[in-house]
Amino acid sequence: MRVLLADDHQILRQGLRTLLEREPDVRVVGEATDGREAVAQAAALRPDVVVMDLSMPGLNGIEATRRIVAAQPKTKVVGLSMHADRQYVRAMFEVGAAGYLLKNSAYEELLSALRVVVGGRPFVSPAIADVVLDALRVGAREAAAAPAELTAREREVLQLLAEGHTSKEIAAQMCIALSTVETYRRHIMIKLDLHSIAELTRYAIRRGLTSVD
């Protein structure tokens, strides 16, 4: 299987690459240091599976997963995170991830997850099975009360705002006009009924949309 590793920690990527390349049926075809690079690498390399860190700066793993799955339905994504919280697990499966496990899992569990999802079945770490069930129950209750859906660009602006970037910095990073950033921010606040950057930051953290802890 052809694997793409997406994580902003070089030591973790190198460690996983070393372990995976010992397997006769695995080839690591690329590495990405953030969500944007993961999306670009997935489009260029067409891997069978992406091992995706959730908390990456700029574009988080959840949004990157959404874009990869939408563009390349045959590519499977396995979330690899330090977070066992319901909102992170739920968010990843909502955007189309095929699997989810924790960073403190044994390497054998990751290898099993890759083989399972490439075989066409979902994978959930036994350590978070109860969390997944709880997330599904809560998701069903909250669906009717969910806020208006943000667009992909609005989610990207929201993450950058929550990470402390100014509107000018966001405009430069996203290659858009400053006025466009301000328009996005107004739309986000209206849709979510939030009225300050502090409220936006708390919302982004609760929804797992930012690398800020």
Task: Tell me the pTM.
Answer: 0.70
pLDDT of 70 > 90? The answer is yes
Q: How many CB atoms lie within 10 A of CB 46?
A: 13
Contact yes or no for 49/25 (Cβ under 8 A): no
Between CA 201 and CA 208 the distance in angstroms is 11
The backbone torsions φ and ψ at residue 83, rounded to the nearest 5 degrees and listed phi first, read -95, 125
Please tell me which residue, 87 or 189, carries the higher pLDDT value: 189
* Residues ≥6 apart with Cβ < 8 Å to 158: 150, 188, 200, 203, 204, 209, 210
pLDDT of 30 > 60? The answer is yes
Residues spanned by CATH 1.10.10.10 within the chain? 152-206
Architecture of domain 2-142: 3-Layer(aba) Sandwich (3.40)
Residue 16 is inside which H or E element, if any? helix 10-20
**Which pLDDT score is estimated for 149?**
80
**Which pLDDT score is estimated for 192?**
85
Predicted confidence band of residue 200 (pLDDT cuts 50, 70, 90): confident
Over the stretch 148-171, which tens digit does the pLDDT of each residue have?
688 888 888 988 888 888 999 999
Name the one residue in this structure whose structure tokens are 């943000």: 150
| Domain 152-206 is found in CATH 1.10.10.10 | yes
**Which pLDDT score is estimated for 144?**
40
Residues spanned by CATH 3.40.50.2300 within the chain? 2-142
Please tell me which residue, 138 or 43, carries the higher pLDDT value: 43
Percentage of residues of the chain with pLDDT beyond 90: 54
pLDDT of 177 > 50? The answer is yes
Predicted confidence band of residue 7 (pLDDT cuts 50, 70, 90): very high
- What is the chain's mean pLDDT, rounded? 86
Task: Give the chain's end-to-end CA distance (angstroms, integer).
Answer: 33
Quickly list DSSP for 119-158. TT--EE-GGGHHHHHHHHHHHHHHGGGPPPPPPHHHHHHH
**Which pLDDT score is estimated for 113?**
95
pLDDT of 145 > 90? The answer is no
Over the stretch 110-143, which tens digit does the pLDDT of each residue have?
999 999 999 999 998 887 877 666 655 555 444 4
Over the stretch 16-29, which tens digit does the pLDDT of each residue have?
999 999 999 999 99
Beta-bridge mates of residue 123: 99
Structure tokens at 140: 């069903």
Contact yes or no for 66/96 (Cβ under 8 A): yes
Contact yes or no for 78/30 (Cβ under 8 A): no
Structure tokens at 114: 């890759």
